[in-house]
């Protein structure tokens, strides 16, 4: 493991890959599962043709600004957090093969407070005040996600929803400790500012690391065979319609014209709707929504009144005004996805927790 300091501005502007003065291919840990052609473009100094727009940069800066918020939230929840100095972050480096380094800047390390069951030897005297007892130090990878991505992560687990973040954390763990340990993925929902965390056991982190090393190993072999030849391009790893391609800074070099192509099938049987018809539909929706507000409010008020009356009567069913009124009890069931994701490997979870896609319209 090597450690160095770097200017904060460079941390977020450095390329995803580059060839250092020793002729080694250096890949950012956050890009370890990225398209290998895109990594080659970056390493051989192609000029980005599709740099991030203002909205993307704003989202990136907002995500970076929220990381300390997550750290403080973890501390308030009882975690012991060791976060790096934002102006002087440390770099870790992991060697992959003979000619490649994977580098990055861990978000920090954390220690989880232990319960009496987890550390009984530390709770021998109940009448003596006890200082918090913490577990072993683990790398924490902090992410910010939009509401949909946050919900998907919380339900499926990072190994299925965002495998690149798990690979990133695996490299950080090996670089930080010289061994693999459990790792924590802490994520904030940028919509409502809630946060949650997931623990990935060391044995599954090892698989994520092996998969990432195998992925990068092919790029390393390409480098050995071709040297820093900018014209010797690896194959593309993703389809033109994928989000990886759509967000690639080298899209116009790799797929000229793809940025202007909206990816839709011109021959698809889609009903033609004019802009004016769309505006009329929004107006009709808003009018209908507004007309429902008062009846819904009245209905909720009536039900609250009936609930209070039924409770005072002590009856679960009564006839009032010729209608039967029933006080219905219901039980809600929930799944602890954090515990489920910790206990089950991703391939097993895929059989238990499935996902399907649907399409709907939301007007706000």
Q: Break the chain into its structural domains and give their ranges.
A: 8-254, 275-312
Task: Indicate the DSSP class of residue 122.
Answer: G
Q: Would you state the pLDDT for residue 4?
A: 39
Instruction: State pTM to two decimals.
Output: 0.80
Instruction: For residue 159, count other CB atoms closer than 10 A to its CB.
Output: 23
Q: Which residue has the higher pLDDT, 14 or 173?
A: 173
Contact 162, 155 (CB under 8 A): no
3-class state of residue 214 by DSSP: helix
Distances (CA, A) of 39 to 17, 42, 225, 317: 5, 5, 16, 68
Task: Give the whole-angstrom CA distance, residue 105 versus residue 6.
Answer: 10
What count of other Cβ atoms lies within 10 Å of the Cβ of residue 304? 10
Report, as an integer, the average pLDDT of 265-270: 55
C-alpha–C-alpha distance, residues 345 and 359, integer Å? 29
pLDDT value of residue 310: 87
Over the stretch 165-197, which tens digit does the pLDDT of each residue have?
Answer: 999 999 999 999 999 999 999 999 999 999 999
The pLDDT assigned to 228 comes to: 93
- For the chain, the helix, strand and coil percentages under 3-state DSSP, each to the nearest 5: 45, 15, 40
- How is domain 8-254 classified at the CATH fold level? Lambda Exonuclease; Chain A (3.90.320)
Give the C-alpha distances (Å, rounded to integers) separating 179 from 13, 184, 216, 298: 29, 15, 20, 62
pLDDT average, residue stretch 13-41: 94
For residue 276, pLDDT over 80 is answered with yes
Q: pLDDT (tens digit, 9 = 90+) per residue, 66-114?
A: 999 999 999 999 999 999 887 888 899 999 988 999 999 999 999 988 7
pLDDT of residue 321: 87
**What pairs with residue 319 in β-bridges?**
324
| CB-CB contact of 242 with 41 (8 Å) | no
**pLDDT level of residue 334 (50, 70, 90 thresholds):** confident
pLDDT in tens, 211-246: 999 999 999 999 999 999 999 999 999 999 999 999
Rounded Cα distance, 105 and 28, in Å: 9
Which pLDDT score, from 0 to 100, does residue 1 have?
36
Number of H helices, E strands in the chain: 12, 11
Question: Helices 202-226 and 36-43: crossing angle, nearest 10°?
Answer: 60
């Amino acid at each position: 493991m090597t450690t160095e300091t770097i200017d904060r501005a460079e941390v977020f502007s450095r390329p995803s890959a580059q060839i250092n003065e020793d002729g080694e291919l250096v890949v950012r840990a956050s890009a370890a599962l990225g398209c290998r052609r895109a990594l080659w473009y970056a390493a051989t100094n192609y000029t980005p043709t599709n740099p991030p727009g203002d909205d993307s940069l704003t989202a990136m800066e907002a995500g970076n600004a929220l990381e300390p918020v997550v750290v403080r939230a973890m501390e308030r929840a009882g975690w012991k957090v060791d976060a790096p100095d934002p102006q002087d972050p440390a770099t870790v480096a992991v060697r992959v093969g003979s000619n490649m380094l994977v580098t990055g800047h861990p978000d920090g390390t954390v220690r989880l407070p232990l319960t009496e069951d987890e550390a009984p030897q530390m709770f021998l005297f109940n009448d003596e005040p006890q200082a918090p007892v913490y577990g072993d130090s683990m790398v924490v990878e902090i992410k910010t996600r939009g509401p949909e991505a946050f919900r998907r992560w919380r339900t499926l687990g990072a190994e299925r929803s965002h495998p690149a973040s798990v690979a990133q954390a695996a490299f950080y763990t090996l670089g930080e400790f010289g061994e693999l340990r459990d790792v924590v993925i802490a994520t904030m929902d940028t919509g409502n500012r809630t946060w949650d965390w997931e623990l990935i056991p060391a044995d599954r982190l090892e698989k994520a690391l092996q998969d990432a090393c195998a992925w990068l190993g092919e790029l390393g072999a390409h480098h050995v065979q071709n040297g820093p030849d900018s014209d010797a391009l690896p194959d593309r790893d993703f389809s033109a319609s994928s989000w990886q391609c759509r967000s690639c800074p080298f899209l116009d070099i790799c797929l000229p014209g793809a940025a202007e192509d909206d990816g839709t099938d011109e021959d698809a049987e889609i009903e033609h709707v004019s802009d004016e018809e769309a505006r009329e539909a929004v107006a009709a929706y808003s009018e209908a929504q507004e007309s429902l507000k008062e009846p819904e409010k009245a209905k909720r008020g009536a039900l609250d009144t009936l609930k209070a009356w039924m409770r005072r009567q002590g009856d679960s069913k009564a006839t009032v005004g010729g209608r039967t009124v029933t006080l219905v009890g219901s039980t809600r069931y929930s799944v602890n996805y954090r515990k489920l994701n910790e206990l089950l490997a991703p391939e097993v979870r895929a059989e238990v927790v499935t996902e399907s896609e649907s399409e709907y319209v939301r007007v706000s």
